[in-house]
Amino acid sequence: MTQRHSERDWIFVSDAHFTGREPGEMDAFLRFLSLEQERIGSLVILGDLFEFFFGFKPSNENGLPDGKNFPFPEYLPVLKALQEIDRQGVRIEYFEGNHDFFLRGFFRDHFSMGVEVHPEGCETDLAGRKVFIAHGDLSNPRQWKYRTLRKMLRNRWTHRLIQWVGPDRTRWVAQRINAMSQDIYHGEEKTHPPPTFREFAHEKFTEGFDVVILGHSHFAEAAEEEVAGRRCAYYNVGDWRIHRSFLRFTPPGTFRPERFEG
């Protein structure tokens, strides 16, 4: 990750799971982007912005969405809003989640946007602090079945197969896989966040990171601990889908979990 507009805020948001099938489901997020675009320098999306998101190649000659051949016409309100803030100079970074696949090149090819896509977690520097950022779906090392499935879904042969099958048939399969995933990870109503996320953050602290920022759990969290004489902080941005939660970083060094009430 590289920095831009260092004097402006960073916004971290995750897990909106937009489907485009429900009236008004995107409205709050569009208002949020409109209100924040003058204030922020970087928007970091920690995955699962949509229910299913795959980096299909453009099918028309100019590569831009024409409403007919674009693979995700139902997502266009949000994607065009991202395109607008990109044009305004806001840096956008996208961390692939467990509903996102092979997005490198998608934003450039379809929207001429300079979105930096991260298939995995990565580190950056914020105000001199070493920060680890990821979606968070790999935070539990005991979920070996999921890790195996993830590797299968993210290899080049799967990419070629999905590209060949095309958006319509792939979407049908993806909706059923996503429904299964929802039952497994978020089906039961939980009152507390799983402890594995804090455990993962602690491991990163012992590796030398000062701050860990994750999503995926759908629980907003903020916790601090001292490791090797360093004051370390873990943040989970929670989910936009239900709670409209996000994390704000204001230079030179203030992290603040917030919720959008607009």
**Following CA atoms 70, 86, 12, 202 in sequence, which dihedral angle do they give, to the nearest 10 degrees?**
90
Over the stretch 58-115, which tens digit does the pLDDT of each residue have? 765 544 455 557 888 999 999 999 999 999 999 999 999 988 888 999 999 999 999 9
What is the distance of C-alpha 114 from the center of its chain?
16
Using CB atoms within 10 Å of the CB of residue 250, give its burial: 0 to 12 exposed, 13 to 18 middle, 19+ buried: middle
Over the stretch 138-163, which tens digit does the pLDDT of each residue have? 887 787 776 676 667 667 766 667 66
166 sits in the region (left: phi over 0; alpha: psi -120 to 50; else beta) called: left
pTM of the model as a whole: 0.86
> Which fold, 9-259?
Purple Acid Phosphatase; chain A, domain 2 (3.60.21)
Residue 216, helix vs strand vs coil: coil
